[in-house]
Amino acid sequence: MILNYKKKLLISQIIRIVITLIILYTLNIPIFIKIPLIILTDSIDCGIPHYLFDKWINCNTNIYQTTDKITDIVCYTLLLVYILKYGGLSSNYNYLLILLFIYRLIGTYLFLIKKNRTYLFYFPNFFLEICFGLVLINNFLILKNYKEFILIAIVIYKIILEYYLHIYKNTKIM
């Protein structure tokens, strides 16, 4: 049975959400290991399958980008709820994560409405990596001395990455 494009996409997105739930609620590992595993799940729908199957989804299409961003929000919501309940972060860190989540949510909403990936650059996804940074800082006290450096490095990295993914790479495709 040959699956069409949309079915492959739907299956890969559902697998990604289920794996996120498994990582968060069944693996008995520290949260600072769970977050990188969740980051890696982002390659389930497009990255990894290209190496396993001859004909896979074109990840530059609008349908892929749309479903990927919706799946991102679902997975980030699951992570945010988990961290707020079990993360052990301070109230200030939790508020920061909520604000970063809302910030990306706004960008994703604008992208979905306007069908313009530039909004994903204007509203970078700081949530996931800042979340990881804060959890690391919280779990390894020696890192508290480098908190500002770590967070600034993450922001710079994410701005460069989002520019590459949603501006530079997008203009090369056209």
Q: How far is CA 82 from CA 86, 112, 151, in A?
A: 6, 26, 21
**Residue 5 token pair:** 């494009």
Residue 1 has what pLDDT?
43
Answer whether 23's CB lies under 8 Å from 41's CB: yes
Residue 169 has what pLDDT?
75
Please give the residue range of the domain that contains residue 16: 5-173
SS3 labels along the chain:
CCCCHHHHHHHHHHHHHHHHHHHHHCCCCCHHHHHHHHHHHCCCCCCCHHHHCCCCCCCCCHHHHHHHHHHHHHHHHHHHHHHHHHCCCCHHHHHHHHHHHHHHHHHHHHHHHHCCCHHHHHCCCHHHHHHHHHHHHHHCHHHHHHHHHHHHHHHHHHHHHHHHHHHHHHHHHC
In 3D space, the residue among 85, 90, 76, 77 whose CA is nearest the CA of residue 135 turns out to be: 90
Q: Work out how many domains the chain is built from and give that number.
A: 1
In 3D space, the residue among 36, 38, 58, 61 whose CA is nearest the CA of residue 47 turns out to be: 58
Residue 49 has what pLDDT?
67
Per-residue pLDDT of the chain (174 residues; tens, 9 = 90+): 456 777 888 888 999 999 999 999 999 999 999 999 999 998 887 777 666 666 777 777 888 889 999 999 999 999 999 999 999 999 999 999 999 999 999 999 999 999 999 999 999 999 999 999 999 999 999 999 999 999 999 999 999 999 998 888 777 655
Answer whether 120's CB lies under 8 Å from 69's CB: yes
Residue 172 has what pLDDT?
64
Instruction: Name the region of 88 (left: φ>0; alpha: ψ -120 to 50; beta: rest).
Output: left
Residue 52 has what pLDDT?
65
